Amino acid sequence: MLADHYQRGIENCEAGRLEEALAAFELYLKERPSHGKAWNDAGTVLYRLGRMDEAIGYFLNALRQEDRPGQACRNLVCAYLKAGQPGRAMQQLKTTAHEQHADIGLAVRTAAEFQRQQELASAMEMLQYGKRLPGDAAVLEQQIAQLRNKRARIAFFCGGDGQTFLKDIIEYCRQRYPVRIFEGQSPAEVFDLMQWSDISWFEWCTELAQTGTNLPKVCRNIIRLHRYEAYLSWPQTIRWENVDTLITVGNSWVIAALKQCIRDIEERVRIVTIHNGVDLDKFAFKQRRPGKNIAFAASLRMVKNPMLLVQCMAELWKRDPGYQLYYAGTTHDKLLQQYIEHGLERLGMTHAFHFDGFQEDMTAWLEDKNYLVSTSVIESQGMGILEAMAAGIKPVIHDFPGAEEIFGKDHLFATPQEFCKKILESQYDSSAYREFVERRYPLDRQLLKINELLAEFEKQDTGGLTDSGVLPEEAAAAAV
């Protein structure tokens, strides 16, 4: 009878007669091809026989059935690892982790196989993913620490412009690589840290980048240029043959300005574009609607074009004097401050402008705002705009060079009259603003691209580990 074949397969398997067990299971499956447990049991026999490609196929068949046995998920991961396919094992773990058949032990085993194949970056990502899985977290952290200490050493040089756009990147790298941040002043101290590092990252194409690239080359060098550096003389002071990669954040007009002062820069250095990413967890989304509160978030500088902001608000106030402008940012430029104050007084709008100063908590400050306006003459990307969009606030953006490639056409204006139209129109869709940022500028995408670049240098320079750290193989769990 049909059931006899299945029972005979179990008995033969328990007795170690694997070929006879496989034959019995296959006879059973010819008549019951939708029996997930039988596919899994036969796959387990094939695994024990060392026939990994066939075992993988059987476990996959088990998972395609309506009565898919949970153990098949784990068995498939084990088979992928035995076949030397940690990439597929990791994909399977991520696909079925929610079914609670994955644990930290499997993550560690998968990472060990990546290490054996000298794929250090993938090994680390598997261990980092393992933090989401059940199991002994102490074991996982120990594995992460051991692997991190064997990886490329990264030094960050920030200079006077600070870590504003680098904090998330540094935190991400600290979880994966040995990291140091430059805190010295002299060229000798720069050189010391470069000698310690395998990869030196110069944030901003300014003084420290000039110093580092004009020293003897002792490591991989990365420069990240944001915007204003391209319009000054700093790029001309860089020794580009000592730079492995120049990262820009994506505005083609900024890149064009850089090319105007260094016409052959594309021949002298590899240029990659990696957009800044928005940490969506930091900006709570909520559905909003049209209102009278307009936000402007920027320091008082010429490049932010506050003169146009005053003209736009004057035009809007003619149509509805109920609108209020809230200004978050420092006001160190006395000339501009006097100009703005004088203009507001002449226009009778002093009461409509609120200078709130620098904001530590932008999320809280944006809570009661309905619009975020930008009047800049140029932006590399406009992170303040994107952060407001992530919170569900409608952006109204002056059409600066490159604005359309960053934000699209829908939110741009060229004149005060067009500004008023954007504010007064009924179209307002908080979900669309948030979705735009999620789709185009999520932080995890930026970090992934940066990690790929760092891992590429690491692999080229080290060739991987000599000590794989492979753990003893976990016995395949049979479901019979």
Q: What is the full DSSP assignment across 310-343?
A: HHHHHHHHHH-TT-EEEEES----HHHHHHHHHH
Per residue in 332-385, pLDDT (tens digit) is 888 999 999 999 999 999 999 999 999 989 889 999 999 999 999 998 888 999
- What percent of the chain clears pLDDT 90, i.e. is strictly above it? 78
Please report the pLDDT score of residue 467 as a whole number.
36
Domains and CATH numbers, the chain: 2-148 (1.25.40.10), 154-277+442-461 (3.40.50.2000), 280-440 (3.40.50.2000)
Give the Cα separation of 443 and 438 in Å (integer).
9
Contact assessment for residue 62 and residue 70, using Cβ atoms and an 8 Å cutoff: no
Does the pLDDT value for residue 479 go beyond 60? no
Contact assessment for residue 131 and residue 140, using Cβ atoms and an 8 Å cutoff: yes
Q: What angle do CA 160, 163, 166 make, to 5 degrees?
A: 140
Does the pLDDT value for residue 315 go beyond 90? yes
As a whole number, mean pLDDT of residues 19-24 equals: 94
Q: Which of 35, 86, 85 is nearest to 61 (CA)?
A: 35
As a whole number, mean pLDDT of residues 235-239 equals: 94
Strands ordered across the beta sheet of 353-355:
353-355, 324-328, 293-297, 371-374, 394-398, 412-413
Does the pLDDT value for residue 1 go beyond 90? no
Please report the pLDDT score of residue 99 as a whole number.
65
Contacts with 190 (C-beta within 8 Å, 6 or more apart), sequence order: 157, 182, 184, 208, 211, 212, 215
Sign of CA dihedral 461, 467, 471, 473: positive
Per residue in 169-221, pLDDT (tens digit) is 999 999 999 999 999 889 999 999 999 999 999 999 999 999 999 999 999 99
Q: Residue 253 burial by CB count (10 A; 0-12/13-18/19+): exposed, middle or buried? A: middle
Contact assessment for residue 105 and residue 79, using Cβ atoms and an 8 Å cutoff: no
Contact assessment for residue 180 and residue 155, using Cβ atoms and an 8 Å cutoff: yes
Contacts with 444 (C-beta within 8 Å, 6 or more apart), sequence order: 277
